[in-house]
Amino acid sequence: MADDRQHPMLQYIINNPEAFAQNLAKTLEQAGKAMAAYIEPREQGKITHESTDELTGIIKTLAQVGEYWISDPQRTVEAQSRLWGGYIDLWNSSLKRMMGEPAEPAVLTPPRDKRFADPDWEKNQFFDFIKQLYLITSKWAEDMVQEAQGLDEHTRHKAEFYVTQIANAVSPSNFVLTNPELLRLTLESNGENLVKGMQHLVEDLKSGKGELKIRQTDPSKFKFGENLATTPGKVISQNDVCQVIQYSPSTEEVLKRPLLIVPPWINKFYILDLNREKSFIKWAVDQGHTVFVISWVNPDEHQAQKSFEHYMKEGILNTLDVIKRATRQEEVNTIGYCVGGTLLAVTLAYMARVGDKRIKTATFFTTQVDFTFAGDLKVFVDEEQISLVEKRMAESGYLDGSKMSSAFNMLRSNDLIWSYVVNNYLKGQEPFPFDLLYWNSDSTRMPAANHSFYLRSCYLDNKLSKGEMEIAGERLDLSKVTIPIFNLATREDHIAPPKSVFLGSGCFGGPVEYVLAGSGHIAGVVNPPAKKKYQFWTGGEAKGTLENWLNNAEEHPGSWWPYWDEWIRAQDATRAKARKPGAYRVKILEDAPGSYVMKKA
């Protein structure tokens, strides 16, 4: 009969030393292949630059924090004493626990921290000690940044971000010997998990052509037109910048005004058409909207000089011409998502300047037009970093999609980077097939001219909100945009923070309906009514502060989609006979979702 009081470390024993040794040898063999996959493209000159510039920037930023604490002997002693005080508390607590006495932990584990969910992080004293040592040290480092005086706001923001990234990287949950779950799995499987993990690492390095492209899902489980982007429609126009998709109606009557959706070009349009249950596009069609969607090109060196102006003229303005040919309607409702919304706002200001009145309403999904409070992405934006990006884009004519994808993943690195490192390479498991993460990894390139303009004019100089941006020879003024606007933010958005979207609402000259949805940048938008998830808040005009607005706002359960549909109909509910793609002799080029979306970065 087993003794339930056996020593807690007895479960951490190698079951089969011979099999473990063989698998360890296989692991080392695969590690050699991974190293070769990393080195080969660098030796061949296919990867010509390393991350030394970024590393230099990180060191310079953190050095400014360190300089504050070591420039004064009293502050140096204070910093050291604070750290060692935490360690002494941990040591005293651990000694009491070793002696069988009740002892409070020196530091509490954050309740929502998934990294330390395994029971042995609490029950096993060895792992509990390592965890607390890590939490004390990382909290101390964060405090050092926050309390350092004399730093400008941007430098402090960068330092906070870098310290968080370093702390996330060195977490004991990321290493086999200091993670109880990983250690148990390794010993129980005699190291087979490490063999599989190294095989995954080799595959991902080869897939990334020498750069590590971490799998967040199983790409073999998804195919366009079958279980992704399945809403029926036709491509009815294309040029060097985009394809235009018109979706087939599912109702006999439709709203007279067609609906144009302008998605971001950082990823692909099918975030709004993941599958039948989640598809905003299908839902909008079923409500009686004639939906047109821009599918942006995945650019290469041939589009290097395509700028914001080209995306405006050959994207949005050209599509308005296409919609008129396809429907015989000039008045259009529009939606812009993220950077697609920023482009739409730029286009609206341009149209107001030149007297073009075809767009009658604009809806923005998590869109910034004022970049004062643009969140953690501003960490990557200053003259030095933009110049470095421009230098690299000049070599190829575009920014590789993986660079932007990495930046977005770093905003939530524990969830989007380190959890997959642990799962794929240390547990040796395949990631779960998840359509949203497939889309997330399906990044696109960005033309050099377009991306440089966006970084400088929006993030760095904030020209659009100041009325200083010029496009096609016209100076843009958002206050001249007087059409009704539906401005959707999401409460947990790291990319377009709700405070930033709220502030941008005041830039427009007409009525703005600000709506705040629960969840984040994607889940808060892709929230079909049938799921009955999350909630949203409405509260009229976006004036004063977001906090005051929210205090007076009304909370509604579930999806904001029906509320938006009511808002659209309140502007104009005139109906017309449904229009099928190909009407009025419009040439059909191919079936939706088209060929542009198929091209991988």
Active-site residue list: 338
Q: Which of 301, 316, 309, 263 is nearest to 450 (CA)?
A: 309
CB atoms within 10 A of CB 463: 17
Provide the CA 1 distance to its chain's centre, in angstroms. 53
Extract the tokens encoding 457. 């004019």
- Do 195 and 31 contact (CB within 8 A), yes or no? no
The whole-angstrom separation of Cα 453 and Cα 41 is 31
| Residue linked to tokens 């050699």 | 32
DSSP letter assigned to residue 278: T
As a dihedral over the C-alpha atoms of residue 392, residue 398, residue 404, residue 407, rounded to 10 degrees, the angle is 10
- Look at residue 89 and give its three-state secondary structure: helix
| Residue linked to tokens 């497939």 | 438
CA 574 to each of CA 258, 522, 540, 571: distance values in angstroms, whole numbers, following the listed order: 11, 31, 25, 9
Q: What is the CA radius of gyration of the chain?
A: 27
Provide the CA 463 distance to its chain's centre, in angstroms. 24
Element (H, E) at 133: helix 125-147
| Residue 547 CB burial class (10 angstroms; 0-12, 13-18, ≥19) | exposed
The whole-angstrom separation of Cα 236 and Cα 234 is 6
